[in-house]
A and B are shown apart, each in its own frame.
Chain A
Amino acid sequence: KAGVTQTPRYLIKTRGQQVTLSCSPISGHRSVSWYQQTPGQGLQFLFEYFSETQRNKGNFPGRFSGRQFSNSRSEMNVSTLELGDSALYLCASSFGYGGANVLTFGAGSRLTVL
């Protein structure tokens, strides 16, 4: 079956712009999580959605937002981009919420802010 699909894979934006990243989870998976990966900070949790509800949120400013649709697809948005937002944004999906549910990651969306 198809894996987690993230679009776009690469994008370049300038400071002050906004960006929307998309994530299609594995069919049947209802939980979607987002992570930011940078060389300096490593992998940091952004937020998690389950059944269209945000269940958890990491320590990121309000410029970072997300949502999940009824088909479990998710989008994250970053407004007023800063140079420090340049990163690989990873989406992961799992069947359930909590416990030992396994996260399956997508290939990521690499954002460069100039």
Chain B
Amino acid sequence: AQSVTQLGSHVSVSEGALVLLRCNYSSSVPPYLFWYVQYPNQGLQLLLKYTSAATLVKGINGFEAEFKKSETSFHLTKPSAHMSDAAEYFCAVSEEGGSQGNLIFGKGTKLSVKP
């Protein structure tokens, strides 16, 4: 079965600093990969997805992620953090042979942004 590992359950950055949230997946074949964001008392919102069209994926709110097959990684970055980016971020992978409904999520990383 596939799995997703997010390094760091909490990440704190200063406003204007680089945001780097790490995600590694286990798979022998390129899966579909996703980043979702969850604000307090809300559901999950899709930031971006990788579906093999391009290794560098741009998402909403200035976020992007790069798929690196050799490292089985899909790290999320944003050049300059904003206070409104404070939220919990989840990396997810689709099951091999399954539908997107079978998303496997990482444990999440809470991002704090200091003024």
What is A's interface to B at a CB cutoff of 8 Å? 4, 31, 33, 35, 42-45, 48, 50, 55-56, 90, 92, 94, 97-108
Listed from nearest, the 10 A-B pairs whose CB atoms lie closest are: A48-B101, A105-B43, A33-B101, A43-B105, A98-B99, A100-B51, A105-B44, A107-B43, A42-B107, A101-B100
Q: CB-CB contacts of B69-113 with A at 8 A, as 1s and 0s?
A: 000000000000000000000101000001111111111100000
Residues of B contacting A56 in the complex (Cβ-Cβ under 8 angstroms) = 98-99, 101-102
Q: Of B43, B45, B99, B107, which is in contact with the most chain A CB atoms at under 10 Å from its CB?
A: B43
- Measured CB to CB, the closest approach of chain A to B104, in angstroms, equals 8
Classify chain B's interface size: 20 to 34
Is B105 in contact with A55, judged by CB distance below 8 angstroms?
no
B61 beta carbon closer than 8 Å to chain A: no
User: By the criterion CB–CB under 8 Å, are A98 and B44 in contact?
Assistant: no
For the residues of B in contact with A, the DSSP-based class is mixed
**Given known A42-B105, A42-B108, A43-B90, contact A98–B100 (CB-CB < 8 A):** yes
- Classify the secondary structure of A's interface with B: strand
Q: Which of B32, B43, B101, B104 has the most CB of A within 10 A?
A: B101
Known A-B contacts A100-B32, A100-B51; the reply to A45 vs B45 at CB < 8 A is no
Residue contact A4 to B43, C-beta cutoff 8 Å: yes
Q: Are B42 and A99 in contact (CB under 8 A)?
A: no
Instruction: Tell me if B101 and A100 are in contact (CB < 8 A).
Output: no
CB distance from B1 to the nearest CB of A (A): 10
Closest to A34 in B: B101
Using A42-B107, A43-B90 as known contacts, say yes or no to A103 and B45 having CB atoms under 8 A apart.
Answer: no
**Per-position binary interface string of chain B over residues 48-80, scored 1 when its CB falls under 8 Å from any chain A CB and 0 otherwise:** 010100000000000000000000000000000
